[in-house]
Amino acid sequence: MEFVVFAGVLLLLFIFMIVQELIQTKNQEKLFKKYLRENYGKEPPKEYSLERFARLGSYLERHKEEKQLDDITWNDLGMDEVFRRIDRTYSAAGEEYLYYTLRNISCGREALEHLEEVVNWLQGQENIKVRIQLLMKRLGHLGKYSLYDYLDNLDYLGERSNRKIVLGNLLYLPFLLLLFVQPAMGTIGIVLCMLWHIMTYFREKKVIEPYIISFAYVLRLIDVCEELEKQKIPVYRRELDELREALKSLLELRRGAYWVMAGNQGKIGGNPLDILADYLRMILHLDIFQFNRMLEKLRKKTGQVETMLAITGYLDMAISVGGFRKSLEGYCIPKLEEDTEKAFL
């Protein structure tokens, strides 16, 4: 009876913590939506670390074109300040796409007209615009590095097989059977297996830990894109169709992701289930096993990840451009002429 009461109390405590976290998240979203509506068009209060600012060109570096603004010209024109003045993005993808757009001087009339169409449409759709900004805020950043840095470095991990983990976990089996014959020997054997697993766990964990941050970002990207592709944006329909196709091939990355992500958010699990999961990871290497599976899948899907980053980053950038225009007393849209002599008349 006492065990039932204790289990019931733990269950109620667990439910209370979940409900409390959901309420807190809901309240934070409500406050952020209010902030977006009240501050759209005002000067952005963003601050940039030197390391993060240095990585803004990561998307640009992977999408080199013939005519892009070189570093000397960029610096002579003081374009870093121009970027800061325009930037109202909420995600790393948006920041990098804005930087790429400002340095890309050969995008052509069609691309500029499409951007103009998207910017103007979003400015007139308050609810959708705020919803997209909320999603971009959820996507967020990766600290001082770009996701492209992590994607480029996936090969440094080499081939990672789960064979050793499976064989190591099978060692428990004979000692578990021995418990029924010689309990003392079985217990000693299980304890020794646990100690060996724990010692090797931290060594393996140190190798993969930097990449878990990027995996968490990719998983957030998938969640955000699932919401984004549901938005009705007629001027961006083709891109959202591409997003939908890329998303289909990445959904499998989420299978078993809990074992990799839980306990890797910079804090120790605070409830009994988290603590139990931490011990299971250490004695069975469950998170390392799942990490290796995710790594194998992600290596084959980097193209789809880049597609999703570009499409989400473009929308974040377009809203940022609209906010910048609203902050101005007035602005004009240049009319491009193919006939240069006619353009100067």
Contact between residue 60 and residue 99 where contact means Cβ atoms under 8 Å apart: yes
Contact 307, 243 (CB under 8 A): yes
Give the sign of the dihedral formed by CA 204, CA 206, CA 212, CA 214.
negative
> Interior CA angle at 324 toward 322 and 329, to 5°?
110
Question: Residues 305-324: pLDDT tens digits?
Answer: 999 999 999 999 999 999 89
Instruction: Kindly report the number of other CB atoms within 10 A of residue 240's CB atom.
Output: 19
Tens digits of residue pLDDT in 14-52 = 676 667 666 767 667 677 667 677 777 777 667 777 777
Could you tell me the two tokens for 23?
A: 């309420």
What stretches of 114-241 adopt beta strand conformation (E)?
Answer: none
- Positions of the chain with pLDDT lower than 50, given as ranges: 265-269, 343-345
**What is the model's pLDDT at position 264?**
54
Q: How far apart are CA 221 and CA 213, in angstroms?
A: 12
Residues 6+ apart with CB under 8 A from 242: 307, 311
Residue 235: C-alpha distances to residues 35, 228, 246 (Å)? 26, 14, 19
Q: In whole angstroms, what is the distance from residue 233 CA to residue 237 CA?
A: 6
pLDDT on residue 136: 92
In this prediction, residue 155 carries a pLDDT of 74
- Tell me the pTM: 0.80
The kind and range of the H/E element at 257 are helix 257-261
* Cα 23 to Cα 20: distance, rounded to the nearest angstrom: 5
Report residue 320 as tokens. Answer: 């940022």
The pLDDT of residue 271: 54
Length of the chain: 345
pLDDT of residue 335: 74
* pLDDT of the residue at 159: 81
Burial of 25 (0-12, 13-18, 19+ CB in 10 A): exposed
With CA atoms as reference, report the closest residue to 319 among 131, 84, 48, 146.
131
Indicate if the alpha-carbon torsion angle 149, 152, 154, 158 is positive or negative: negative
Angle between helix 183-228 and helix 237-248 axes, rounded to 10 deg:
170
Q: Is the dihedral of CA 295, 298, 299, 300 positive or negative?
A: positive
SS3 content of the chain, % helix, strand, coil (to 5): 75, 0, 25
User: Cα(115)–Cα(104) distance, rounded to whole angstroms?
Assistant: 13
Token duo for residue 127: 């609810």
- Give the per-residue pLDDT at 263: 56
